[in-house]
Structures are given as C-alpha cells and as structure tokens.
Structure 1
Amino acid sequence: MKRTAVLVSAAALTTLGSTLDLAHAQPALAHDDAHVTAFSDQEQDAALKFWTTARLRAAEEVTPEPAPTRAGPIPSPTADDGPALTVPPLPAPASTDAEAGRENQVPALASSPKPWRGGGLIHRTSGKVFFQNATGATFSCSATVANSSNKSVVLTAAHCVVDPATGDGYRKWVFIPGYSHGGRPFGTFTAKKLFHLKRYVTSNNGDNWDFAFASMRKHNGRTLADTVGAQGIRFNTPMARHVHSFGYGGTPAEGSGERLNHCQGREHADTTRPGSTMRGIDCVQTGGSSGGGFLAGFDADKGSGYLIGDISVGNGVSEFHPRLGDAARTLYRKASRS
C-alpha cells in the first residue's frame, strides 16, 4: 500500500440484473472522467507468457510517486454522493482441492495484520496483480473480484493501474485469484481493459480517487466470477461500520507478499490530511497490499461481504481506502459492460 509521507507500496442472476439496472438508471457524471487502457488479444497472450514463476517472485511491491499537486478545488465529503447501491456476492462454484486444509478461524482484533486462515470466498476472490511499467520494471499489488453483470471485474487501487506521476497506464496486467506462495490455483487472468478516473492523476487530492476496476478475459472458457465467485460491492454507503481488509503485504511479518493477510476494525474518517474524504481502520498493511479489498457486512464463516473500498494510503497507525461514491459507481458500470 502507499503511505502518506513515504509511499510503499450471489445471488441469483435475476437479482443481480435488477440491481445493476438500478445502477444504469442513475445519471452519469457531467463529463466523462474515465480513462481506459485497453489490451489486444495479442498483448494479453504475451502477458501470459511473460509472467513466469521467476518473474512473479521478482516483481517488487508497487512504489508509486505521489500524484502531482495541481490547482483546483478540494472535494468535499458530499461532492460525490448519490443513491445507495448494493450488488450481492456471488457464491463460489463447488469446493475444489484448492480449499483443502483451511481452518475457519478469524484472528482477534489487532493493530497489525494477521494471516487469513478462515478460507471461504475471500481466499478465492482475493489475489495478486502483476504488471510492468513504462521502463520495464515489474511490480505487484492486490485486488478482489467484484460481482458484476459480465462476471469479469476486479477492484484495485488506481496506483496499481496507472503511474500517478505521468498518467501512463501499466502493461502486461494480470490477476491471479487465490495466489499463495507462487501458486495459481485458479489460473492467471489477463486484463482486457483497465479503468481509472482522470482526476486521480490531475486533481490536487488524487488519493480520494485511488480506486480502479479491471475487466478480465475468460480463462479456459470461463469468466472470473464463474471460476472463483465474487464479493458483493456497495456504493454511496455511510461510515462508522466494522470493516475488514485483505491484502498481500510485502514485509517478512506479512509473509513477504506470498500469503493473504487480514485486518479488521471500526471505520473512521481520515482527519490527518486536508481535503481527504477517505476512511480507514487502525491497522496498517504494507507494500503489495495496495488495492486489496475493504469489506463491510463480512461473514467470516462464508468469507464473503461487500466491497466498500481498496487499500490505498496509510499514516503508520491507520490504513485508508477511498470512498466508493457516484464516480466509482459510474466507473464500475463501464467495467461491467466491457
């Protein structure tokens, strides 16, 4: 994840369809703020060949530069409000050997991340992202499968899809659900398109918009959600709930990026930075956890809940996520249709 001073980096288809129809019925942004990075089939094939096991292990936890400060209004907490929208989780297919040996135990509340040993939907729908920047360096982040009409969307951080200093989109972008110690239990999915807001790069409070969605190509003829299931997602929701976060932090205490870690706590506002509309909990995951999911309404027995943000920045005591408001809902809708 990034730090503030030193950045380190279902429901039945009928129910889902009617829920997404509600999302489509809402008015779009006054102007199209979405930036889309698209990859051809040939580029995706090349990405699959590129990401050997050796390259996966050699990739560094993402360490982006801070987004440049530019003139412009600082958003207010209510500037991105709209009607609440909830998309339900999609249960995973029948159990596989990849789930064997999991213990359904939730770590006690703590100020530092703990290994996730509970199994369930979250260990399938969480995963690692790998990509290459313009200079050829390789990096990793975290991401989570979000239920969508195309069953092919993941939520991650904007700084995991675009260089915030230059606006250049990252390449050779792949997602490995259920990643653990180099294993690919459900295969490697390549990104067809990456979606982030232009204001993430151009605004003077870019962290407020540090979310992104990726639309993934099918693997072995199956969509991502049909392969591993999907978490629910919520937009325009209130604060002050008990939430959980999941990511692949890169420190030795977090398994050096090779295992899924977990934090939980009561959500609070980010009062440490002027103009911030972010929310967080008193727990800090480190580089590589960027983009990992924040979930509300989390059922530890099932490992399922509702995405309400992604791990973005921290201040050494708390980790924060951008709020998923109307701008995020519009971006999600675009990804869901791609």
Structure 2
Amino acid sequence: MRRAATLFSTLALAATGCMLGTAHAAPAGTSAAAATGSHSTSVSAADQQAALRFWTPERLRGAREMTAPASRTTTATPATAAPGAPVVVPPLAAPASAAAASTPGVGTFASSPTAWTGGGLISTTVGKVFFQRADGGTFACSATVANSDNKSVVLTAGHCVVDAGTGEVYRNWVFIPGYANGNRPFGTFTATRLFNVAQYVSTGGNANWDFAFAALGQVNGRSVANTVGAEGIAFNSATGRHTHSFGYGGSDAEGNGERLNHCEGDEFPDAGRAGSTMWGIDCVQSGGSSGGGFLADFDTSTGGGSLVGNISVSAGSNEYHPTLGNEALDLYRQAGAA
C-alpha cells in the first residue's frame, strides 16, 4: 500500500476579465530567463523514449506519493508582483472519442475528499504525473491539461518538477490523463520541456511560487488537448470564490492513488504564514494530489471550468494553492509556445 503524504494547496478561480487566447512567446531556453524569472529544461527525444520504457506497470505501482516541502513554505515578505489585467482562456471540449468514454454526470458536494463520479471533461483532463529523482526514487503527483496555443500544456506543482533545495529537475517525467487503477486510457505523454519560476528555487521552496507547467509530446500523432480536451485557465483572477480541486490522493480513503478525487469549498486567504499570497479551502487531499488543479466557474454537469491554481500545501484541515499572476502567465505562454 502506498504511503499517504501531507497536504497540498487548492487553486483560486477567475470569474471576471477579458476572454483571450494565449499570447505567443518564444520558448525559454534551458537556463533561467532573466526577463521573466523563469527556468526551463528541455527533454531530448532519446530521453523521452527512455521515459516511456522506464514506466512499466510495476514501476507505476511502486511510485510513492510526492509531498510538499513543508519546512520551506514561508517567507517574511510577499513574493508576487503587483497584479496585472485578468486573462482567461476558455476550455477545449474533448473529442467525441474521449467524451464517449466519460459520460457527464452530476458530482456531489465534497467537503472531504470524495471519489469523482461526475464524469465529463475533468475526468479526462486530470491525470497522474510520474517522475524519478536523482537518487533513483520514483514519485507520483497530479496535473491538469490547460488549453494553450500548442494544445500540449499541463499545470502542476513546482515541487512535482524541481527540488527547491538543490535545483534538481526531475527526470523520466510523464503524464497519464484519465489514469485509473493502473490503466492508461489515452496513453502516456512524455514531457518535452519543463517550466518553473526561478523564484521557487531561489527562495528554497516558497509555496507562493509552487506552480509549474510541462509541455508534452504527442501520442499517436495527436497532442494531449486534441486527445482528451483541456480545461480553461485564468490569470490575475478574482479570489474568494467557490472552487473545486481534483487530484490522486494516496490515502486508503482516497483509493491509494488509483482514482480521481474531488474537494470543493469557498476560498479564504492563507492567514497562517507570514507573507503568504495563497488561497485555500476547508478540505484536504493527501499525498499524490499535489499539483492537481483548482477550478472556478466549474460546471459539475460537464466537468469544465477555469484553472486558478494547483494543490500545493496544507495546514490542519485546509489545503492551499498559489495564485496565478503575471509570473505564471509568462511561464504558461512559454510552455504554450514550446
């Protein structure tokens, strides 16, 4: 049985603002980009093929649920720039083949992690992330497909991409959308490039910066969004709204990381950490849910909404997510142009 981990954060959702497509930007290089404070790491074609071979069913079962670096989540000063104009990218409906495999239903209210039975877009766009650290350990997180220019981007947590203490970017990084009980209904997508904000490492893991994006390769000649659809995503959006979080928690009550779980609640600011700009809800998913999406404007009958953050850290009975501001928008645009 896998070990359950500590808690993660939820995302704040966007309701107002302009409805825009993603702006084009040149892809980042393999080192920090001074203009945006971003860092990207490219994955060679050979390493992508090696990752596909690496993740056998046995290794998927043996991966441990990733936990947030709890000792590195505070700062004495706020760690975000002044907010910019709201930017909202709409969801992308799943192709008929994916939609047929997940009939939309109506989810039930979840003040504690509950198996998601509502089907719809969320059941195909959320998936499990698997990766390996330099010490050989294998771990699992969660991620969500975000609509983007290249139709190949997922949002996850910074601590699911890079070790904030050492700057080590994880290897053999793959995303399996719609993962359930070891099944890979839409295939395994390898990372072609991983993106995190440089501040997450320079601050030693300040959770205000605990978000990341991955650009993915194709499966059977199709991008991930053109295979399973994509959720919308919002930047510089309103906070304090009703949000839903989704992830693959590793506790017994959450199915030991083998099923998609759901929380929801009205957001409130993180008042327990000096300098925190995070928002959370009164519900906690356990280890393995890290990186899973928080959505606003979520329609339980269709499974579509707008990503406003990712599960990051928890305290007591609450889970929190970093807000997606200008820095996240820059990073997302780079990933969408990769």
Change (3 A) 1:266 1:64: closer
Q: Is the 8 A contact 2:293 2:307 kept in 1?
A: yes
Shift of 1:19: 2.4
After superposition, residues 304-319 of structure 1 pair within 5 angstroms as 304-319=304-319
Change (3 A) 1:164 1:228: same
Q: Given the alignment of the two structures, is residue 280 of structure 1 paired with residue 269 of structure 2, yes or no?
A: no
Shift of 1:288: 0.1
CA distance in 2, matches of 1:2, 1:321: 14
Q: Secondary structure at the match of 1:295?
A: strand
Change (3 A) 1:67 1:328: farther
Q: Secondary structure at the match of 2:21?
A: helix
Q: Given the alignment of the two structures, is residue 94 of structure 1 paired with residue 96 of structure 2, yes or no?
A: yes
Q: Is the 8 A contact 1:243 1:264 kept in 2?
A: yes
Q: Secondary structure at the match of 2:40?
A: strand
Find the counterpart in structure 1 of residue 148 from structure 2.
Answer: 148
Change (3 A) 1:227 1:314: same
TM-score calculated relative to the size of structure 1: 0.89
Q: Is the 8 A contact 1:98 1:185 kept in 2?
A: no
Find the counterpart in structure 1 of residue 106 from structure 2.
Answer: 105
Shift of 1:316: 2.2
Partner AA of 2:312 in structure 1:
S
CA distance in 2, matches of 1:159, 1:75: 19
Find the counterpart in structure 1 of residue 78 from structure 2.
Answer: 75
Shift of 1:73: 6.7
Q: Is the 8 A contact 1:113 1:262 kept in 2?
A: yes
After superposition, residues 196-211 of structure 1 pair within 5 angstroms as 196-203=196-203, 206-211=206-211
CA distance in 1, matches of 2:271, 2:93: 36
Q: Is the 8 A contact 2:7 2:315 kept in 1?
A: yes
Shift of 1:49: 0.4
CA distance in 2, matches of 1:76, 1:185: 39
Q: Is the 8 A contact 1:205 1:276 kept in 2?
A: no
Find the counterpart in structure 2 of residue 262 from structure 1.
Answer: 262
Q: Is the 8 A contact 1:2 1:312 kept in 2?
A: no
CA distance in 1, matches of 2:149, 2:99: 28
Q: Is the 8 A contact 1:2 1:290 kept in 2?
A: no
Find the counterpart in structure 1 of residue 187 from structure 2.
Answer: 187
Shift of 1:97: 8.4
CA distance in 1, matches of 2:331, 2:99: 35
Partner AA of 1:104 in structure 2:
G
CA distance in 1, matches of 2:194, 2:82: 22
Shift of 1:63: 3.1
Partner AA of 1:172 in structure 2:
N
Shift of 1:98: 6.8
Find the counterpart in structure 2 of residue 8 from structure 1.
Answer: none
After superposition, residues 227-238 of structure 1 pair within 5 angstroms as 227-238=227-238
Change (3 A) 1:271 1:191: same
After superposition, residues 143-182 of structure 1 pair within 5 angstroms as 143-182=143-182
Change (3 A) 1:249 1:3: closer
Shift of 1:192: 0.2
Change (3 A) 1:30 1:171: closer
Change (3 A) 1:180 1:109: closer
Q: Given the alignment, which residue of 25, 48, 51 partners 1:47?
A: 51
CA distance in 1, matches of 2:110, 2:168: 39
TM-score calculated relative to the size of structure 2: 0.89
Q: Secondary structure at the match of 1:208?
A: helix
5+ unaligned residues in a row in structure 2: which ranges? 9-17, 26-32
Shift of 1:103: 6.8
Q: Secondary structure at the match of 2:336?
A: helix
Q: Given the alignment of the two structures, is residue 299 of structure 1 paired with residue 305 of structure 2, yes or no?
A: no
Calculate the aligned-residue CA RMSD, in Å: 2.2
After superposition, residues 242-257 of structure 1 pair within 5 angstroms as 242-257=242-257
